[in-house]
Structure 1
Amino acid sequence: MIEDPLLTPYQLSGLNLRNRIVSTAHSSRYTSGGIPTERYRAYQEQKARGGVGLVTLGGSAVVSRDSPPAFGNITMYKDEVVGALERVVDSCRTYGSGVFLQLTHLGRRTTDHTGDWLPTVSSASLREPAHRAYPKAAEPWDEDRIVADFAAAAERAMAAGVDGIELEHYGHLLDAFASPWHLSRLSPDDRARATQLPERVIRAITDVIGDDMVLGVRMAVDERRADGLDLDAAHSLLRRYVALGIRFVNVVVGTIESATRLSEVIPGAGHKSAPFLDTVAEVKRSHPDVTVLHAAKIDDVATARHAISNGFMDLVGMTRANIADPYLVTKIRERRERDIRPCIGARYCLEGGTTGGVVCVHNPAVGRETHLRHEIDTTARRSRKVVVVGAGPAGLEAAHVAAKRGHEVTVLEAASEAGGQVNLLIANDRRRDLAGAVDWRLEQARKYGVEFRFGVFADETIVLATKPDVVVVATGGLARTPSEAGLHLADQVDDIWTVFEQPHRRYGRVLLYDDDGRYPSLDAVEVLAKAGNTVTYASPERSVGVEVGALNFADFQATFDRHGVTFAIARGLHCVEPHENGATMTATLETEAGAPAERVTCDAVFYAGGTNPNDELYHALRAHSSNEGRVDYDAFIRGDPQPQPHVPDSRFALYRVGDAITSRNMHAAILDAHRLALGV
């Protein structure tokens, strides 16, 4: 039998890795005061338990006080970090994974108004757009202390037992002392001194770790800008670094000083898979004795296998794929690749600053490993008959989890297919990968014996006729109208669901009023613009798509720019007045501050305002239920069994999830269903 190239062992210097799959460094924000928490330990442990060959901690771990955490970084300038980090390392090593730690000085990629409020520092006083810091140009004494800080951080990493260190060399401090567009700001004398800093750091760390740990670098080999580092210059740099002790390179293409630039480095849905393989292969050809690692939208097994089997790289980073499914490697080894929960490119995991830490849009256990499970076992104390009404993401989550736990599950769905609102959203063809959240659940549910009845509009009589023990109402929501939001507008104003239902329709001049701020609003704008409409986006918020993450917004913005979408921000929609011809109308936009009204002439107006619960069935069933829909939130949050009142056997437990409760996003709806299904 031919061995899977992804599962072949690999020796990196003196470290033996059990396979070629790596979880690269990334920010989880699971720290407290810069110290890894129990949540962080459990999160990383699951990847090791799931079989990954190498776990890289940090994202990044900062070495100096004037490099305060900008995104939940581990603070390696504190002695108290050692014990907490050691617990994480031990947990991962228990399950056979190697463990590296990424070290950095953030340079200008942080802020000077947090932590100890010290001025930020870089090679030149060049402001970073993303974090808006104005760094001072490093003086010789700054460089001396930063080198010493890297060495001290390496000592702490060694004390914590990590197997290797990865130096961050793109978008942070070290590359600012190597990239032409930074160095060009310096005088010849200062430039000559500055270029020595990365090599001084490598020497200092090598003096600390010797041959006991592996040292590598994560660096941009092509910054993709006219004044930036190109591949030839990167080859020269890398050869110098290797001579000093660098043993692996984690290849990056691009820069990260803005959301648009970062979105190119970390591609999401709608982007080409593994877009930088040719560049990575060139690095490997030019440096055959150096271990080459790469991770950029390699989110499926076939692509990863292709990259390794063709020798484009030695180790493959499947970081987001391992977030979506930490048991990816185990499932490859057990020949269960169809069971792998797919990464759907939503990049919700990169919005940890607004979600309390990394979460996956369709894996509810991510970041909740201390009380939720990635893999569902047959844990039900007795099999019960569970009826789920609705086959959107929430209904499908409830169905497959309950079935895996050992229950008999029936799903009633009014439509002819599963998907719910996801089937509307993928009218934006750039976001078709979202369908993976539906397809995977549907296949898992069927595999575990769930019965689906499509084309059934479930009413009270139909549900009662199934004689259920548990009913989960996952009927979703209905688009909220302007009048329901307290806006008294003309009847001609339609909701954005109409846009998704007729994605190619040309209306002419269109106003979309976004009273929601979430992804569906911007998806609707993109669909309208691509259909050839002239679109004005208006919102009462001070920014466009206020709930949309920066990286995903950069993708929307690219479409908006191409199609000439215009914006009216911090504007409320006061009224819409039809013209006498009945075909056009005037929308009046006003500010709360009393600025002069703006009037927009348009052929169609659409309103985005979230959803109202489609809860008629839920309320009809309450009188027949044993719990009247009550949920014990303490048990619910833990995924523990819900209390069961002593009532006649003919009664059933009733629950609702997702938009059937109130307007929820996809992750919240799936999380509702997951926690509930663990407790029925």
Structure 2
Amino acid sequence: MNNDPLLTPYRLARLNLKNRIVSTAHSSRYTTEGLPTERYRLYQEHKARGGVGLVTLGGSAVVARDSPPAFGNITMYKDDVVPPLSRVVDSCRAHGSGVFLQLTHMGRRTDDHTADWLPTVSSAPMREPAHRVYPKAAEPWDQDRIVADFASAAERAKAAGVDGIELEHYGHLLDAFASPWHLSKLPPEERALAAQLPERVIRAVKHVVGDDMVLGVRMAVDERRPDGLDLDAAHSLLHRYVQLGVQFVNVIVGTIESATRLSEVIPGAGRKSAPFLDTAAEVKRAHPDVTVLHAAKIDDVATARHAIENGLVDLVGMTRANIADPYLVRKIATGRERDIRPCIGARYCLEGGATGGVVCVHNPAVGRENHLEHEIEATADRARKVVVVGAGPAGLETAHVAAKRGHHVVVLEAAADPGGQVNLLTANDRRRDLVGAVDWRMEQARSHGVDFRFGVFAGTEAVLDLAPDVVVVATGGLARSASDAGIPFADGMDDIWAVFEQPRKHYGAVLVFDDDGRYPSLDAVEVLARAGNTVTYVTPERSVAVEVGALNFSDYQATFDRHDVTFVPTRGVHAVDPGPGGRLTVTLGTEAGSAADRVTCDKVFYAGGTNPNDDLYLALRERSTNQGRVDYEAFVRAEAQPSAGEHPGTFELYRIGDAVTSRNMHAAILDAHRLALGV
């Protein structure tokens, strides 16, 4: 019998949960016209298949037309939502998981220039910074309508078979009628009446669900602002809610009206683990008869186990950890904790608007469960000799997936250690958790017999001497220089790799020209600023680091603000001229021909992505059976490549990641995963 506290059953009202681990509600953007898709069903089903005790669907499933989907939300105001939602519920329940649905009215946290173009509402006409929306103060008829909308949405949820409903009570509409921060904007004579809305909604939903379903709230118990809801006031609110039928509280700390505030509620890399667990424990002590759930950067098993074992909470949300590895619970139960793919805090999963839906930076199967695999089985028809050149994330992904499928894998790496460009980026101490993507793959590969050979510069003959059936070139890229970009006087500019190679070097006043817009550019700025340099950041884009998500940018910004980094958008580098005392004068301008600006500094760095390190690939190409050719139809389905045909070589040749062109970490790992499943 397994006595792990995380695996102990828990009874929540009439619902028996098989363990204490929960995947909390979050937006995946896997909807079409507001309806859950097959992609969404598979995404949630794999969490249930992987053993999670409770899956909460929705990620702010919206109840009304004037709450348009801002994040690909499920639209619970449509009757046709019931059949597809039922399929998701049935798929999860088939694996023994409980299934809840989060319901909300987004209030001011949405966009009124989408869907039906209706005005947004809130308790008071306070603009929300994140969505730049101006809500109207909800009139009495709005409030009546919204209460009815919640009840109707609950009816649809009940028809779909969900086990419980979680009402969103932070950052959306309901808390705007409960928080002193919002209510203080109303005339004094209106506040008491407005504050009744959350209780009216709870009564209406409870009337629908009765005792057949569980009812709870996801609630900010401390808004961490002087005019906001504090813990004492939250205790009073929650006590009233429990009297009305609320049976659990999902504890939140903070507010989410801006990217900076939201980044504190959903901490990323470099932040303290489980920063609000003590607050959740206070709620549990004050309300011992209420089920307390909490999720905020509880991304490792040890912390989750501590929370349950010591009675700090009843249920623990490991949402991002379950995105990184949906089979986390099964691995705990079978004594395979070392096999759990770690969440590395990259928060790439929160950038779904830019990636077409939730993806994990280092689990390529997330959201692609219809053709990629979370758990790799020995499915190869015959064992082949696979030689991988390069031990960065792409090479390591190829190695462990191919080895698990049953192939003999040799990895050649010129450096003394694995990691590739990840080793450069972790020069930014705040991002050191990225190395978890390397460490996990190394352990997986070694445990499946991969032969690693470090300090080997793999030339053509070194590869051919191994008599490979398949060669995968994962040699990465080399920093693209200002000369490559055609910038005049580029000899006065170094690439940002020099920053990572000497992260504590003090230059004085430096300028970083970001011609890339991705994470390495900001990592370089942060490293330079922390080393005491005075930094000016220049970009031709109209905003800073256009490829970096808003939440992650807010973490960089905290450093930039402390070190007085100067930002110059919409400007390119036109010239770099030497001056007296070894100083440099940088001329900035725009394509539109603006008047030139000049900045004097001691060093200029250029961020421009990478050029493929492809010499080996080009040398091997004519000697391969396929001449490097990739059939994209088979590739995207992760199927075997078609026969090479008439070419006389003895091995197939492929290249992946930055060895093809400048890619990001997720794209490189996805390349490798798809290729290795088809080898």
The TM tier, using the shorter chain, reads over 0.9
2:590 corresponding residue in structure 1: 591
Q: Tell me the CA shift for residue 580 of structure 1.
A: 4.2
1:195 corresponding residue in structure 2: 195
Secondary structure of 2:409's partner? strand
**Structure 2 counterparts to residues 49-64 of structure 1, below 5 A:** 49-64=49-64
Contact (CA 8 Å) 1:490, 1:577: kept in 2 or not?
A: no
Could you report, residue by residue, the CA deviation over 1:532-584 in whole angstroms, capped at 9, with x for unpaired residues?
00000000001111100000000000000000100110001100001143x21
Q: Does 1:614 align with 2:613?
A: yes
| Cα RMSD, aligned residues only | 0.9
Secondary structure of 1:586's partner? strand
Q: Does 1:638 align with 2:637?
A: yes
**Structure 2 counterparts to residues 345-424 of structure 1, below 5 A:** 345-424=345-424
1:226 corresponding residue in structure 2: 226
**Change beyond 3 A, Cα 1:185–1:469:** same
Contact (CA 8 Å) 2:415, 2:456: kept in 1 or not?
A: yes
Amino acid at match of 1:394: A
1:171 corresponding residue in structure 2: 171
Q: Tell me the CA shift for residue 141 of structure 1.
A: 0.2
**Structure 2 counterparts to residues 290-305 of structure 1, below 5 A:** 290-305=290-305
Q: Tell me the CA shift for residue 79 of structure 1.
A: 0.2
Amino acid at match of 2:392: G
1: distance between equivalents of 2:649 and 2:354?
44
**Structure 2 counterparts to residues 659-678 of structure 1, below 5 A:** 659-678=658-677
Q: Tell me the CA shift for residue 277 of structure 1.
A: 1.1
2: distance between equivalents of 1:450 and 1:60?
44
Q: What is the count of residue pairs matched by the alignment?
A: 679
Could you report, residue by residue, the CA deviation over 1:389-411 in whole angstroms, capped at 9, with x for unpaired residues?
00000000000000000000000
2: distance between equivalents of 1:478 and 1:401?
26
Amino acid at match of 1:90: D
2: distance between equivalents of 1:428 and 1:206?
50
Q: Tell me the CA shift for residue 489 of structure 1.
A: 2.3
1:470 corresponding residue in structure 2: 470
**Change beyond 3 A, Cα 1:114–1:338:** same
Q: Tell me the CA shift for residue 430 of structure 1.
A: 0.3
2: distance between equivalents of 1:387 and 1:648?
20
Q: Does 1:563 align with 2:563?
A: yes
Q: Tell me the CA shift for residue 595 of structure 1.
A: 2.3
Contact (CA 8 Å) 1:490, 1:578: kept in 2 or not?
A: no
Contact (CA 8 Å) 1:104, 1:172: kept in 2 or not?
A: yes
2:103 corresponding residue in structure 1: 103
Q: Tell me the CA shift for residue 492 of structure 1.
A: 2.5
1:502 corresponding residue in structure 2: 502
Could you report, residue by residue, the CA deviation over 1:238-294 in whole angstroms, capped at 9, with x for unpaired residues?
000000000000000000000000000000000000001111110000000000000
Secondary structure of 1:364's partner? coil
1:136 corresponding residue in structure 2: 136
2: distance between equivalents of 1:592 and 1:153?
52
Q: Tell me the CA shift for residue 97 of structure 1.
A: 0.3
2:428 corresponding residue in structure 1: 428
Amino acid at match of 2:558: A
Amino acid at match of 1:604: K
Could you report, residue by residue, the CA deviation over 1:333-384 in whole angstroms, capped at 9, with x for unpaired residues?
0010000000000000000000000000000000000111100000101000
Amino acid at match of 1:32: T
Q: Does 1:679 align with 2:678?
A: yes
1: distance between equivalents of 2:593 and 2:614?
39
2:78 corresponding residue in structure 1: 78
1: distance between equivalents of 2:194 and 2:634?
57
Q: Tell me the CA shift for residue 2 of structure 1.
A: 6.2
Contact (CA 8 Å) 1:496, 1:524: kept in 2 or not?
A: yes
1:658 corresponding residue in structure 2: 657
Q: Does 1:93 align with 2:93?
A: yes
Secondary structure of 1:483's partner? coil
Secondary structure of 2:516's partner? coil
Q: Tell me the CA shift for residue 648 of structure 1.
A: 7.9
Contact (CA 8 Å) 1:122, 1:136: kept in 2 or not?
A: yes
2: distance between equivalents of 1:455 and 1:440?
21
1:182 corresponding residue in structure 2: 182
Q: Does 1:155 align with 2:149?
A: no
Could you report, residue by residue, the CA deviation over 1:482-526 in whole angstroms, capped at 9, with x for unpaired residues?
111121224121000000000000000000000000000000000
Q: Tell me the CA shift for residue 623 of structure 1.
A: 1.0
1:243 corresponding residue in structure 2: 243
1:487 corresponding residue in structure 2: 487
1: distance between equivalents of 2:188 and 2:473?
70
Q: Tell me the CA shift for residue 649 of structure 1.
A: 8.1
Amino acid at match of 2:588: L
1: distance between equivalents of 2:30 and 2:367?
8
Q: Does 1:449 align with 2:456?
A: no
Query: Which 10-residue stretch deviates more, 615-624 or 590-599?
Result: 590-599
Amino acid at match of 1:601: T
Could you report, residue by residue, the CA deviation over 1:157-187 in whole angstroms, capped at 9, with x for unpaired residues?
0000000000000000000000001000111
Q: Tell me the CA shift for residue 189 of structure 1.
A: 2.5
Q: Tell me the CA shift for residue 476 of structure 1.
A: 0.1
2: distance between equivalents of 1:321 and 1:647?
47
Contact (CA 8 Å) 2:482, 2:490: kept in 1 or not?
A: no
1: distance between equivalents of 2:669 and 2:344?
15
TM-score normalised according to structure 1 size: 0.99
2: distance between equivalents of 1:669 and 1:607?
23
**Change beyond 3 A, Cα 1:2–1:31:** closer
Amino acid at match of 2:474: A
Secondary structure of 1:678's partner? helix
Q: Tell me the CA shift for residue 650 of structure 1.
A: 5.6
Contact (CA 8 Å) 2:624, 2:648: kept in 1 or not?
A: no
Secondary structure of 2:241's partner? helix
Amino acid at match of 2:590: T
TM-score normalised according to structure 2 size: 0.99
Amino acid at match of 2:139: E
2:30 corresponding residue in structure 1: 30
1: distance between equivalents of 2:592 and 2:656?
39
2: distance between equivalents of 1:574 and 1:40?
48
Q: Tell me the CA shift for residue 444 of structure 1.
A: 0.3
2:289 corresponding residue in structure 1: 289
2: distance between equivalents of 1:38 and 1:250?
28
1:3 corresponding residue in structure 2: 3
Unaligned runs of 5+ in 2: none
Amino acid at match of 2:555: D
Could you report, residue by residue, the CA deviation over 1:27-57 in whole angstroms, capped at 9, with x for unpaired residues?
0000000000000000000000000000000
Amino acid at match of 2:154: A
1:255 corresponding residue in structure 2: 255
**Structure 2 counterparts to residues 271-290 of structure 1, below 5 A:** 271-290=271-290
2: distance between equivalents of 1:528 and 1:648?
51
Amino acid at match of 1:602: C
Unaligned runs of 5+ in 1: none
Contact (CA 8 Å) 2:170, 2:220: kept in 1 or not?
A: yes
Contact (CA 8 Å) 2:625, 2:648: kept in 1 or not?
A: no
Moved over 2 A (4+): 592-595, 644-650
Secondary structure of 1:48's partner? helix
Secondary structure of 1:6's partner? helix
1:516 corresponding residue in structure 2: 516
Secondary structure of 1:263's partner? helix
**Change beyond 3 A, Cα 1:5–1:649:** farther
Amino acid at match of 1:434: L
1: distance between equivalents of 2:490 and 2:548?
28
Amino acid at match of 1:410: V
1: distance between equivalents of 2:603 and 2:184?
51
Q: Tell me the CA shift for residue 646 of structure 1.
A: 4.5
Could you report, residue by residue, the CA deviation over 1:126-152 in whole angstroms, capped at 9, with x for unpaired residues?
000001110000000000000000000
Aligned residues with identical type, % of pairs: 79
